[in-house]
Structures are given as C-alpha cells and as structure tokens.
C-alpha cells in the first residue's frame, strides 16, 4: 500500500472555478433578460403593488448590466475567494496534510 498526501493545491486550479462562475452568471443574466421581456407586456395581470416593483426593477435594469457587468464581477469575486481558500488550505496542509492509502 502506498500513502498519498495532498500538501499543496496549485493556484491555477482557481481559474476553472471562476470560468464556471462566469458561465453560470451569464446564463442567469440571459434568463433574467428573457423574463423581463416576457413580463414587460403583462404587468397589468399582476397585483398593483407587485406591478410597481417589477416596473421599477425593469427600469433600473439593462442588458449590459445583466450580461457583462454582473457576470464579470461575480467571476472576479469567485476567483479571489477561490485563491484565498487555496492559500488557507496550502498553509494548513503543510502541518496537517490530507492523506489516503492506495492498494
């Protein structure tokens, strides 16, 4: 049996996580934009207080914000958090590595 230990995670590992976050937020932005367009014409079918909230949300939202700004900001935040998590793990793993045995 050989014992393997994970004592260090490469910082490049955070990049795929950030790319996945970017794609997910881009899909969410497309979905929200589609629903805004769908709801725009049907505000009269909603209760008045809800229609006012939707109308104010629709006025304050644009495609650039949903499809560019939000996904990029979210991806950068996820990248920074991933790097911090990897840094903390690498510091802790020097003393207490995660190990497993292979047969």
Q: What is the pLDDT of residues 74-100, one digit of tens each?
A: 999 999 999 999 999 999 988 888 877
Instruction: Confirm if 83 and 11 have CB atoms less than 8 A apart.
Output: yes
- Residues 55-71, mean pLDDT to the nearest whole number: 84
- In the chain, what's the furthest Cα-to-Cα distance? 70
DSSP-based helix, strand, coil % in the chain, nearest 5:
75, 10, 15
**What does the alpha-carbon distance between residue 46 and residue 18 come to, in Å, rounded to a whole number?**
37
Residue 11 is encoded by which pair of tokens? 């910082």
pLDDT tens per residue, range 10-42: 999 999 999 999 999 999 999 988 888 777 777
């Amino acid at each position: 049996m050989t014992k393997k230990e994970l004592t260090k995670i490469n910082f490049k590992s955070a990049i795929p996580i950030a790319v996945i976050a970017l794609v997910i937020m881009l899909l969410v932005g497309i979905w929200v934009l589609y629903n805004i367009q769908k709801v725009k014409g049907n505000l009269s079918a909603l209760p008045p207080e809800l229609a006012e909230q939707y109308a104010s949300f629709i006025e304050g939202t644009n495609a650039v914000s949903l499809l560019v700004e939000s996904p990029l900001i979210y991806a950068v935040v996820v990248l920074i958090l991933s790097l911090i998590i990897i840094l903390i793990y690498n510091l802790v793993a020097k003393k207490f590595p995660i190990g497993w045995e292979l047969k």
